[in-house]
Every structure is written in structure tokens, then in C-alpha cells.
């Protein structure tokens, strides 16, 4: 009830379908104006008439014009996927935020962002963030061709894509690359699947990488919702 009371209205100004599972959504409205937003913060969008909401990391925020851009990843059969798939321009929605999610202040190049399909929006925001000074993006992904198509569309085509394996064997190669980059003084932003973040952060800590050089945020875990 409290969340609903805090929700603010917006209008769906633009919907662009990049691929079967990804849609770019631009929201507009007076409630988006004069808002203090920084890269890494999140908003929660109400899903229909119920009490459920789904979390999105804005790619950008125009506080003067009252607009924000989201990249919706529709996977599975949950409320978020149904909302993203059915969304049409001109529709109204309710949102809460922006509010703190992942603190990126103080990052200095070189920065390495690891994640997956749920991290693409954050990657776009980080790219445009002055404090990041440029970043290397590395994503584990189920469909490399589709992910490449989407990343090309949002000007992140140089990202490195690693296909998932059923037993997570692909993470060994990612660990090795992360350790190589750590030796060159990189700072790390680890996002996406909870178990992948835990494994990579553990490897970095074992190699002596200080916690101050890492930012972590789990967006999802199999069988669980609402991590963010």
C-alpha cells in the first residue's frame, strides 16, 4: 500500500523492439522532471493493476525534458516479461524512484563491468557516466547473436560476449580474464546472476583484490524474484 502511494505517473513515449527478448522503452512525464538521478540507480515500475513491480536500471535520464530510457529484457513468463512484451506507445504506467541500487561514484579507469542480459541497461548508463572514464564490458549470455544485435543497437557492440554452458564451465575463462585485468589495476562492477557474482568476486578476493576495487549487485537468481 505504501509503495502504491509513492508511485508516480508516466507515459510510454517510445517502444522499440530490438530482438525477440529486448525492447527499448522511453517514459515521459512531469514526474520525471527535476529529478536527481545518477548512473546505477533504479526505478520500480508497477505491473498492471496488482501490487507487483519490477526493477529497471535506467540507461539515461533527462531531468529537464522529463524522460528516462529503459532496456526491458523479456524472459520467462513472469509479470515483467508480459509487461515488456505487451507495452504500447501512449500507454500510462506508474513508477517509484529513482533510488539507490548500485553505487558507482569514485570509480576510476580502467573499469570492468561484468554481467549478463539484465546488465545491458547499466552498461549504457556507465558508458555515459563521466566518473567511469570508459569501461570494458564482459557479459555471459544465453544467445550470443541476439545479445550482439542488442548491444550494437545501443552502441555497446565492442562488449565481449561469453556463451553460457549448462555447468557454468564458461566462468573459468571469465575468472582468468578478470585476474589478468586485476593485475593491471582494474576496478570491477559485478552484476547479474548471483552465483556468477559470488564465484568471480571470491576469485578476485583470493588473488588479493581489495573489496574497495569491487562493486557488486545481484539482479537475479534461479527460482527467486525481487533481489533488487
Element holding 175 (H helix, E strand): helix 170-183
DSSP 90: T
Grouped pLDDT means (10 residues each) for the chain, 228 residues: 75 97 97 95 84 90 97 85 92 95 87 97 86 80 98 96 96 96 95 97 97 96 73
According to the model, what pLDDT value does residue 136 have?
93
pLDDT recorded at residue 75? 81
pLDDT of residue 228: 67
Alpha-carbon distance 4 to 189, whole Å? 31
Q: 144-153 and 120-127 helices cross at what angle (nearest 10)?
A: 30
DSSP string covering 134-155: SEEEEEEES-HHHHHHHHHHTT
Query: Which residues fall within 8 angstroms of residue 215, CB to CB, at 6 or more apart?
Result: 102, 103, 104, 107, 187, 188, 189, 190
The separation between CA 56 and the C-alpha centre of its own chain, rounded to angstroms, equals: 7
Predicted confidence at residue 227, as pLDDT, reads 65
Backbone angles phi, psi at 181, to 5 degrees: -70, -35
Return the pLDDT at 212: 94
User: What pLDDT is stored for residue 161 in this prediction?
Assistant: 98
Exposed, middle or buried by CB within 10 Å (0-12, 13-18, 19+), for 81? middle
Res 226: pLDDT:
57
The full length of the chain comes to 228
Amino acid at each position: 500500500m505504501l509503495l502504491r502511494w509513492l508511485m508516480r505517473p508516466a507515459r510510454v513515449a517510445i517502444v522499440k523492439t530490438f530482438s525477440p527478448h529486448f525492447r527499448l522503452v522511453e517514459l515521459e512525464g512531469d514526474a520525471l522532471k527535476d529529478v536527481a538521478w545518477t548512473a546505477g540507480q533504479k526505478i520500480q515500475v508497477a505491473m498492471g493493476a496488482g501490487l507487483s513491480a519490477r526493477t529497471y536500471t535506467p540507461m539515461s535520464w533527462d531531468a529537464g525534458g522529463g524522460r528516462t530510457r529503459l532496456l526491458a529484457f523479456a524472459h520467462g513468463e513472469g509479470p515483467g516479461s508480459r509487461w515488456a512484451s505487451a507495452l504500447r506507445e501512449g500507454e500510462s504506467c506508474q513508477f517509484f524512484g529513482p533510488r539507490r541500487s548500485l553505487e558507482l561514484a569514485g570509480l576510476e579507469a580502467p573499469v570492468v563491468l561484468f554481467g549478463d542480459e539484465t546488465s545491458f541497461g547499466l552498461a549504457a548508463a556507465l558508458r555515459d557516466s563521466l566518473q567511469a572514464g570508459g569501461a570494458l564490458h564482459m557479459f555471459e549470455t544465453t544467445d550470443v547473436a541476439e545479445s550482439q544485435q542488442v548491444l550494437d543497437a545501443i552502441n555497446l557492440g565492442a562488449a565481449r560476449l561469453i556463451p553460457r554452458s549448462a555447468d557454468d564451465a564458461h566462468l573459468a575463462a571469465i575468472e582468468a580474464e578478470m585476474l589478468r585485468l586485476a593485475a593491471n589495476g582494474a576496478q570491477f562492477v559485478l552484476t547479474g546472476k548471483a552465483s556468477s557474482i559470488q564465484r568471480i568476486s571470491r576469485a578476485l578476493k583470493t588473488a588479493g583484490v581489495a573489496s574497495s576495487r569491487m562493486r557488486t549487485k545481484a539482479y537475479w537468481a534461479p527460482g527467486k524474484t525481487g533481489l533488487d
